[in-house]
Amino acid sequence: MKLKERRVMSYFIEATIEIIEKEGIDKVTIRKIADKSGYNSATLYNYFKNLDVLLMYASVKYLEGYIKDLKKKIVKVDNPIDRYIKIYEVFNDFCFKYPDIYFNMFYGTYKNMLHEIINEYYVIFPEELEGIDEDIMLMLTSGNIFERDKAITKSFLKCGYHKEDIDFIIETTIRVHSSYLYEAMINKDTSNKKTKEEFIKYLKNLIYRVGDRNE
């Protein structure tokens, strides 16, 4: 990516983030972004396929707090199952705080572009990766949420889980998580302590019951 391309893309992304912060993601428009960035809308389309894709780039900014918190909270968690649960606990703290942003990133129309978008975002804003462990970065850039969970749960094999069990856990976890997050987004409820607790309880029951099958 050339320096000019990185610079212009950064202007559009930063303008979009500023509008999201002040007005909410549903109030972002091409005209507002163009006015704030100092470029016209025609230029925007030279760098981004459409508004939804630009919103995906801007949404990556909201992973920053998640990444930092995750780094602190999993550093001493060695057990693969406890680590997976802890990752979802931290993930949920941010998902349910920004349900519209996280749902769009991980479950929206362009979720399959997330791998490409995250990698390009950190080329544009490399300073946001300072101090990030390699294993966390690998997890974040592994692709969509299914690929992320596959990367995290590989070590379940060491705990006696079969591959088909792991695949079942991943599929079920993500389907249930997306429904919880969708409900939070629709209801515009960002104080979902009860919902977060319900999901983690469901996740633990799922993992342990599948594990019990193999004993």
Determine, yes or no, domain membership for 196. yes
> 3-class DSSP state for residue 205?
helix
What is the sign of the dihedral through the CA atoms of 174, 178, 184 and 188?
A: positive
Half-sphere exposure of 178 (CA within 13 A, CB side): 15
For residues 137 and 106, membership in a common domain is answered with: yes
For residues 20 and 44, membership in a common domain is answered with: yes
Ordered per-residue pLDDT tens for the chain, 215 residues: 788 999 999 999 999 999 999 999 999 999 999 999 999 999 999 999 999 999 999 999 999 888 888 888 888 888 999 999 999 999 999 999 999 999 999 999 999 899 899 989 999 998 887 777 666 777 777 768 888 898 889 899 989 999 999 999 999 999 999 999 999 899 877 667 788 889 999 999 999 999 776 55
Determine, yes or no, domain membership for 127. yes
The confidence score (pLDDT) of residue 128 equals: 82
User: Which residues span the domain enclosing 109?
Assistant: 63-213
Determine, yes or no, domain membership for 57. no
The confidence score (pLDDT) of residue 124 equals: 94
Determine, yes or no, domain membership for 54. no
Determine, yes or no, domain membership for 53. no
Question: Which residues fall within 8 angstroms of residue 177, CB to CB, at 6 or more apart?
Answer: 88, 95, 199
The confidence score (pLDDT) of residue 215 equals: 55
The confidence score (pLDDT) of residue 76 equals: 85
Half-sphere exposure of 86 (CA within 13 A, CB side): 16
The CATH number of the domain holding residue 28 is: 1.10.10.60
Determine, yes or no, domain membership for 151. yes
The confidence score (pLDDT) of residue 214 equals: 59
The Cα 27–Cα 29 span in angstroms is 6
The confidence score (pLDDT) of residue 213 equals: 62
The count of structural domains within the chain is: 2
Determine, yes or no, domain membership for 193. yes
Determine, yes or no, domain membership for 58. no
For residues 163 and 126, membership in a common domain is answered with: yes
For residues 77 and 147, membership in a common domain is answered with: yes
For residues 74 and 146, membership in a common domain is answered with: yes
Amino acid identity of residue 85, one-letter, is I
